[in-house]
Amino acid sequence: MAVYTAEHLRGLRMIVTGGGTGGHTYPALTTIRTLRDRLAAAGTAPDIRWVGVAHGLEAGIARQEGVAFTAITTGKLRRSPNRHEWGRNVADAFRVPLGVLQAVMIVVRTRPEVVFSTGGYVSVPIGVAAWLAGRPLVMHEQILTLGLANRILARLADRVLLSHESSIDHLPARARTRAVVTGNPIRPEILTGDRDRALAAYHLDPRLPLVYVTGGAQGAVQVNELIAAILSGLLPSCQVLHQCGDYSLDRMRQVAAAVPEHLRSRYRVVDYVHGELPDVLTAADIVVARSGAGTVAELTALGKACIFIPLIPTGGDEQRRTARHLADAGACRMLAGPDASADRLHEEIMVLLDHPQRRRQLADAARRHGRPDAAAAVVSAIIDAAGRYRP
């Protein structure tokens, strides 16, 4: 990629689109922060406008981040609608042209040097508008396969940024020459955790291996119930920090109260791990988690020994595809379908606890799949596209 001076990129105007879920929203947020830092170091700043839906996660995130936000009307794209959703698809089909018209007006008024999309149905109108207006479109895909929105935009984008090398095979043939594997942007603070801070925050024993269990921000009832079934069998060999989500907190506190008294201090259950997450991930010897794109990006960047229990079904079954891809490479253990049983989870955890060398091998393989510099690579692609557009 070419090198552009701060003067050449002074006042860089960018539209960001993507959202609906954290999987699309947080990579966009990390990219915005990284771009701001890159330009601030050169004595300038970008002019950014985030385009999304008024009720989406992205609206609140943009407001918190001090990013100008514009809402548009658009319809959701459903890959395999059931008969109850056909009516909604028809209604949404009429919203899409309105969204494109709104998006064209936004692009005309904003005059961006580059448009950056992280996917989700809201990204399609702005991506189409960028193409119609002749503005560079840089799109990013977080998952192994392509979401429907990004399958559409890949045909229009100047740069197609991917999180996985194998995703290239899922691109339309003409888009493959425009593909760059950057990885999935992760928050830089994830890489700067401190083990001792985590141990102190949760009153953990530095002499015992730590198993961190998480079902994501909202928790996962399936994962929680599996842990409830095997907890007493695990605690003689380790300590467990469990983020269970608000919904299951009372249930897991009851489970904690039933643990034999001499082992009770080895189990810590919380509804949510807040700012201590980087410390907790650094301290964890084993992580039991879902295999969402953001979670996988963070854990592989850190090189963690993981047991993934994918959420099934999801759109395109991407969690299972991602976990299977890593498991086949020896970079994680995966429990799905009939294998996602309490007995199998207990067995997998105990094998890793009893054989530290296998734990290290799993962690090393995971690290080889991680891309801790993904955000920087995405920002470089954005700056390159903007620089090429400017006279």
pLDDT of residue 148: 87
pLDDT more than 90, % of the chain: 81
Structure confidence by residue, pLDDT tens digits, 198-252: 999 999 999 999 999 998 766 789 999 999 999 999 999 999 999 999 999 999 9
What are the boundaries of each domain within the chain?
13-186+372-389, 189-369
Average pLDDT on 255-263 reads 96
β-partners of residue 116 are 16, 138
Please classify residue 268 by burial: count the beta carbons closer than 10 Å to its beta carbon, then call 0-12 exposed, 13-18 middle and 19+ buried. Answer: middle
Q: Which fold has domain 13-186+372-389?
A: Rossmann fold (3.40.50)
Checking if the pLDDT of 90 tops 50, the result is no
Burial 32-56 (b: 16+ CB within 10 A, else e): bbbbbebbeeeebebebbbbbbeeb
Q: What is the pTM of this model?
A: 0.91
Mean pLDDT across the chain, nearest whole number?
91
The arithmetic mean of pLDDT across residues 161-167, rounded, is 95
Q: Do 189-369 and 13-186+372-389 have the same topology in CATH?
A: yes
pLDDT tier at 383 (50, 70, 90 boundaries)? very high
| pLDDT classification of 147: cutoffs 50, 70, 90 | confident
Statement: 189-369 belongs to CATH 3.40.50.2000: yes
Per-residue pLDDT averaged across 21-29, rounded?
Answer: 93
Predicted confidence (pLDDT) per residue in 344-375, tens digit: 999 999 999 999 999 999 999 999 999 999 99
For residue 190, give every residue at least 6 positions away whose Cβ sits within 8 Å of its Cβ, in sequence order, or none. 277, 278, 281, 298, 301, 302
Identify the pLDDT of residue 188.
94
Residue 73, pLDDT score: 86
pLDDT at 97: 80
pLDDT of the residue at 236: 98
